[in-house]
Each structure stands twice: as C-alpha cells, then as structure tokens.
Chains A and B, each alone.
Chain A
Amino acid sequence: MASHTDDDADGTEAGGTRRAEPTAGAIHLEELTKQFDTDDGVERVFEDVDVHIEPGSFVTLLGRSGSGKSTILKLVSGVLKPTSGEIRFEPDDVTIGYVFQSPRLLPWNTCLENIEFVHEHNPAYSDETGREYLDLVDLSEHYNKYPSQLSGGQRQRVGIARALSIDPDILLMDEPFSNLDEITAEELRAELLSIWQQLNKTIFFVTHDIDEAIELSDRILMLGDGQIYADLDVPLERPRSIDSEEFLSFRQQAIDTFHSV
C-alpha cells in the first residue's frame, strides 16, 4: 500500500507531496433520547445517553442487534433528529464521513465517479484526488470499474475511500465489515487501523462483534437496554494480536461486562 507517512513531521511526506493538516473532531452527546412512534405505540430506543469522544480517538459502540447503535450513528450524522438532548461537535462545523454496512455505491457510476459524487460542494475536487483515495485503499487498478465488476470487499473499500475523500474530521462507521467474509474483514480492519494512524481522524465505530471492538478501538462503549452501561478503555498496545495473553484476558473482562446487562 502506498506510504503516506510524514517522517519528519513538517507537514510534507517523503517525496514532497503536501497533505492537508490532519484534523479530527470531538463529539459530544448530551442527554440524548430517541423514540419512534410506531403502530404499536411509542418505542423508546434509548434515553439520556451521555457520551464524549475525544478528537483523534477510535471509539467503538458495541451492542446487540436492535440495541439502537445504528440509530445513534444516524443521529450523529444528522440523518435522524433526536427526540430530546443535544449533539455538539468541536469544532462546530465538522465534516463527517459515513461508511455503511453495505457499500451503497451508485451502480451506474465507476469507482472514481462514486467518489466524485460526494464532492458536489467542493470546487477543489479533481479526479487526481479521487485516484489518491482509491490508491489508499488499494484499488489503483480499478478506477474505472463499475461496482458490479468488484467483489464485496472491494466495494466496501470504495465506500471507505469515498468517506475519507471528503477529508472528514470525524468518520462514522456502521458495522462496515459485518457483511464480509472473515478473511476480507480482517484485511480491511488492518488497513483501517493503518489509515487511522496515518490520518489521525476521530473514528466512531459501531459493531456487534466484541473481538472486532477490542482489536480496533481505544475505548468501548456498551449499549443495551436503552442506555450506555459500560465504558471501557482498551489498555492493549498496538499492534494487537488476537491470541496474545493480554488480549484474551481483556477479552474475558469485556465479555463479562457485556453480559452484565
């Protein structure tokens, strides 16, 4: 994969390509409540959720299917409005990138065109930019391919490149690897970590997979029964090995906590 490390921390990489200053945003959820009106009455998804996410951190929201974790992400991205409570960002005008569980690519556009699609308000965008981000996720041979010509893992990579291409301060990821086979998912997790370490974005990641949560994040929030009932820091050093002693012992702790509700 292309190297984008800034070895002498002067804002340029070896080779002289100038990258934008890495920016990362903070997220503050305050007394967040969401309920839906359904035919069977009012469905309270969660109530009075308080979460603060530091800039540049990788935080995972872990919960069972149906716990409301995707809903929280949709509230943060602005697609849904909260019933009550507040969502604040630092800085106020953060750019948010979103990666979905399914790639959600436009089937009638090529990979490049799919990236261009999200740059409507960006006069500085050029095909050059799009190609850079496709290179970042290892799709240099596929600029002009259509989604139907790609594998599931490749399509998901395009989705990730698309979200990264807007240079977001915050990256929201909704179970992005759960539709993939384990081998592809493992590869993409490693790539994601590498990209995160290079670009220093805040990542708010949602999953139901506890191993994935431990492998990837600095901090795990556990959502269940309408509230965040646990907030664990993950003390393991990266790179993390899924069969190391520390991993396994922390994992046991985490599982016990997870099932405590």
Chain B
Amino acid sequence: MRGVSGSSRSTFGRIREALRTNEVLVFAESIVTVIVVWMVIAHGLNLVDSISSPELILAKVVELITSGLFFTHLVDTMRRTLFGFAIGVIIATPLGIAIGLSDFLKTAFKDYVTVGLALPDLLVVVFVAMLFGIGDLTPAGAAVVLAIPYMMQTLIEGVDDIDTDLLEMGASFDASRRRLLRRVVVPSLLPEWFGGVRYSLAISWKAVTLAEVVAAETGVGFMIRKQMDTLSLTGAFAWTVLFIVILLVIEYGVLRQLERLAFSWREEVSDVVVAP
C-alpha cells in the first residue's frame, strides 16, 4: 500500500517497516521462503525421495547433534583445518611480504604463485594423498598447499598498495629500514593480511572436506561421502547445514570481533563530524 509511510507510527506500521528494512528480519524471511517453497514442491509433487524436505533434514540434524556424532567428526575436521590453515599463513606471510618488497623476487616467483592459484583443488588432494596416505596429514596438507598461493597473492598486491608518501616521509626523517617495516609496511598490510587470513580459512575448510571425501576415515567430508554412498540426500544436507552453521559462528563470533579490535583507528563513516 503506497503512501502509508511516515504518517502512521503505529505499532503495526513499525512492524511492517522492520519486516522490509531490518537486515536480520529480511534475511530470515528469505530463509523461511526457501523452506516453505521446498516443502511445498517436495510434498506437493511427491519428490521427497529425490530432493528431500526441510522437516526431514531438521530431524536428522537433531539426531546428529544429540547422538554426538556430529561433534566427533567436526573435531577432526576442525583440527585438520586449523592446522593446515595456520601452517599456510605462517609460511605465506613472510614469503608474500618479502616477494612483494623485492623486484627481483617478484620476477622470480610470481609465475609460481599464478600457477598455484590455478591448480585444481582435486588434483592437489590426489597428489597430497599419494604422499601422505589416509589420515590427518592429507587434509591438512591439501589445505596448506591450496591456501598458500592466495595468501601470498594478497600480500604481494598489498605491498603494491602501500602509501609511498608515508615511506618517503619516513625516509626524510632518516627512519631505518626496520622502522619503516615495523611502523609503516606491516600496519599498512594488516587489513589486507586479515582479508587473506579469512580467505585462507575458507579455502582450508573446503580443501579439508574435499580431501576427507576422497582420502580419510573420519571428519565431516568423510561422513558426507558416507551419506552419498548410502544415497541419503537428507543425511548429506543435514551434515552440510550443520557445517555451514559452524562456519557462520566462526565468521561472526570470532573473525568479525578480531577485526573490530584490530582496526579501531579506521574512520567510521558515521563518526565523521568535522570536514576539513
């Protein structure tokens, strides 16, 4: 109903406005819509066996949680992910910065990074599996190999973005190389590094679960593979839903909070009061 905006501040009017503009509510509405449409198509067209249905998935989710099965395998997957991701970041960070800062190293290694970025995930998993066999090392190793090129590329580009005016200012005040590195280069790279870390974590999750599908005996990926082997679409969905929930918890609960803390010096658009 057009034209009914602003004038009525009744409760009803405010609820309606919230339903249309509040971020969380709108997102929830889209989820509800998907669920409803899904249920209607599944039951209405009798396709439950081929496309499953939300209430079945929910039941399976509850079962997985209460039986403890989800957490048993989640722990394995998370361990491999965090291990692989951490090693990848520890290796890629100094390497990426060093290459970004040196024209010589950049010319020597940039094609390696390009190739690394283009490697198909499954190929890497297969190679790593042949090296390490079935067990923890394959998923973690795959995560390391797949995450490193992204982290390095992020940092190499990040170094290019450093404000040379600030470096010139430091030079005009006789700042040593070490000083410039610690006080200008590294803080300047921090936002990009953080973005690279986030991206590397996402790549690690995917690498680990893919590797688990192919070459592990425990873990979320392995369990999804088992569901596939028993043709249980509902089960596959249930594991995936739970997995996504964990990802979101980490993103919003951990990463966003760390980001807020680290970058408190950045100008908040809402804080701008004085224009120069």
Beyond contacts A104-B166, A150-B274: 19 other A-B pairs, Cβ-Cβ < 8 A, are A96-B172, A98-B169, A98-B172, A98-B173, A100-B165, A104-B168, A104-B169, A106-B166, A106-B187, A118-B175, A120-B175, A120-B176, A148-B265, A148-B267, A148-B271, A149-B267, A149-B271, A152-B276, A180-B276
A153 and B183 contact, CB distance less than 8 A: no
Return the 8 tightest CB-CB contacts between A and B, nearest first.
A152-B276, A148-B267, A118-B173, A104-B169, A98-B172, A108-B187, A146-B265, A151-B274
Min distance, Cβ A18 to any Cβ of chain B, angstroms: 25
Give Cα A149–Cα B171 distance, bound, in whole angstroms: 26
Whole-angstrom CA separation of A166 from B173 in the bound complex: 9
Q: Are B173 and A79 in contact (CB under 8 A)?
A: no
Query: What are 14 inter-chain pairs, A to B, with CB distance below 8 A?
Result: A77-B172, A104-B165, A104-B166, A108-B187, A108-B265, A109-B265, A117-B170, A120-B176, A121-B174, A151-B275, A151-B276, A166-B173, A180-B276, A181-B276
Q: Give chain A residues whose Cβ lies under 8 Å from the Cβ of B169.
A: 98, 100, 104
A107 to B169, CA, bound (A): 13
The answer on a CB contact under 8 Å between A117 and B183 is yes
In the assembled complex, A102 has its CB within 8 A of some CB on chain B: yes
CB distance from B167 to the nearest CB of A (A): 10
* A91 proximal to B (CB < 8 A): no
The number of residues on chain B lying at the interface, defined by a beta carbon within 8 Å of a beta carbon of chain A, is 23
For A149, list chain B residues within 8 Å (CB). 267, 271
The contact string, 1 if C-beta is below 8 Å from chain B, for chain A 151-165, is 111010000000000
Identify which of A100, A117, A146 gathers the most chain B CB atoms within 10 Å of its CB: A117
- List B contacts of A117 (CB < 8 A): 170, 173, 175, 179, 183
Residues in A neighbouring B260, C-beta threshold 8 A: none
Residue in B169, B183, B187, B274 whose Cβ sees the most chain A Cβ within 10 Å: B169
B266 CB contacts on chain A under 8 angstroms:
107, 148
B183 touches A106 (CB 8 A): yes
Is A78 close to B, CB under 8 A?
Answer: yes
Cβ contact within 8 Å between B172 and A78: yes
Q: Which residues of A contact B168 (CB under 8 A)?
A: 79, 104
Which chain B residues border A109 with CB–CB below 8 Å? 183, 265
Within 8 A of B (CB), among A18-48: none
Instruction: Fill in one digit per residue for B253-268: 1 if any A CB lies within 8 Å of its CB, else 0.
Output: 0000000000001110
The secondary-structure label for the interface of chain A is loop
Task: Give the complex CA separation of A89 and B171 in angstroms.
Answer: 19
- Which B residues are CB-close (under 8 A) to A77? 172
Least CB separation from B174: chain A residue? A121
Residue of B nearest to A163 (CB): B173
Q: Distance in Å from the Cβ of B190 to the closest Cβ of chain A?
A: 8
Hey, which chain B residues are within 8 Å of A106, CB to CB? Answer: 166, 183-184, 187
Residue of chain B at shortest CB distance from A172: B172
Tell me which residues across on chain A come within 8 A of B170, comparing CB atoms.
117
Taking CB atoms, residues of chain B closer than 8 Å to A96 are 172
* A90-129 vs B, Cβ < 8 Å mask (1 yes, 0 no): 0000001110101010111100000001101100000000
Considering the chains assembled together, what is the distance between the CA atoms of A60 and B274 in angstroms? 32
Question: A133: shortest Cβ distance to chain B, in Å?
Answer: 14
What's the Cα separation between A77 and B266 when bound, in Å?
31
Q: B177-214, CB under 8 A of A: which get 1 and which 0?
A: 00100011001001000000000000000000000000
- Inter-chain CA distance A158–B173, complex, in Å, is 15
Contacts of B276 in A (CB 8 A): 151-153, 155, 180-181
For residue A166, which residues in chain B have a CB less than 8 angstroms away from its CB? 173
Cβ–Cβ < 8 Å partners of A104 in chain B:
165-166, 168-169
What B residues does A100 contact at CB under 8 A? 165, 169
Closest chain B residue, CB of each to CB of A146: B265
- Nearest residue in B to A103 (C-beta to C-beta)? B169
> Would you give the shortest CB distance from B272 to chain A, in whole angstroms?
8
- Mask of B16-46 contacts with A, CB within 8 angstroms, 1/0: 0000000000000000000000000000000
CA distance A151 to B165 in the complex (A): 19
**B172 and A79 within 8 A (CB):** yes
Nearest CB in chain A: distance from B185 CB, A = 11
With a cutoff of 8 Å between Cβ atoms, the chain A residues found around residue B190 in the complex are 108
Q: Which residue of A lies closest to B264 (CB)?
A: A146
Kindly state the separation between the CA atoms of A151 and B173 in the bound complex, as whole angstroms: 24
Chain A residues whose CB sits within 8 angstroms of the CB of B184 once the complex forms: 106
Chain B residues closer than 8 Å to A120, beta-carbon distance: 174-176, 179
A102 cross-chain contacts in B, Cβ below 8 A: 165
Kindly report which residue of chain A lies nearest to residue B173, judged by CB atoms: A118
- Name A166's closest neighbour in chain B (CB-CB): B173
| Nearest residue, chain A, Cβ from B176 | A120
Which A residues touch B275, using CB under 8 A?
151
- Give the contacts of B44-77 with A (CB-CB under 8 A): none
